Chain A
């Protein structure tokens, strides 16, 4: 199994509070991604990173920011959490030389509830 750790795995917070989810990898993979999964929507890409300090928006980036100061860590921040951001968040990684194979490795997910 790919070495991907998401923290926290579960979090309950209140509307308006900041939240940071962390994804840590031990594989030295270039690409890292944050997805959210909601019933009826499948997985949707929030942000991704193609290197240290190199990030870009995905399909549903509003209300989220990311940072990647080290290869191994990709942080997802909700500056002011809203109830619509209640979801399961998945981090994924992939190797650069696998661009043409596209194997993504996913973490176990972080369940966030915003009250």
Chain B
């Protein structure tokens, strides 16, 4: 399975934008890029996903490099509630059709938001 690399931790000030990077240099053409986050004492929750084009939703934006070897999760205005561990995950669609959705969660990036 293709791997992702994320910084262990990042800090941001409240109400400022946050750019969370993810490197995935061995990504294959059928890998979707997914982001989840885990708030303290909760299960992970879906944030956003994409394949090639940049994506926006109510929670965040996902910017995908043209060669797809890296991506960036963008929180436009960080709030204290955004303090969480953020996971960047690759999911092979071809494999998913036979084996279900086997997500591999790495250690993620712990985001701290300062008031």
State the A residues within 8 Å of B (CB).
Answer: 31, 33, 35, 40-45, 48-50, 56, 58-59, 90, 92, 94, 99-109
State the B residues within 8 Å of A (CB).
Answer: 32, 34, 36, 41-46, 49, 87, 91, 93, 96-97, 99-108
Of B46, B99, B105, which one neighbours A42 at CB under 8 angstroms? B105
Distance to closest chain B CB from A48 (angstroms): 5
Known: A35-B105, A106-B44. 18 other contacts (CB 8 A): A40-B107, A42-B87, A42-B108, A50-B99, A50-B100, A59-B104, A94-B101, A100-B96, A102-B32, A102-B96, A102-B101, A102-B103, A104-B36, A105-B46, A106-B45, A107-B43, A108-B43, A109-B42
Shortest beta-carbon contacts, A-B, top 7: A106-B43, A43-B105, A42-B105, A103-B46, A50-B100, A90-B43, A42-B107
Q: How many A-B residue pairs have CB under 8 A?
A: 66
The contact sample of 10 A-B pairs, CB cut-off 8 A, is A31-B100, A41-B107, A42-B87, A42-B105, A42-B108, A92-B43, A99-B101, A103-B49, A106-B45, A109-B41
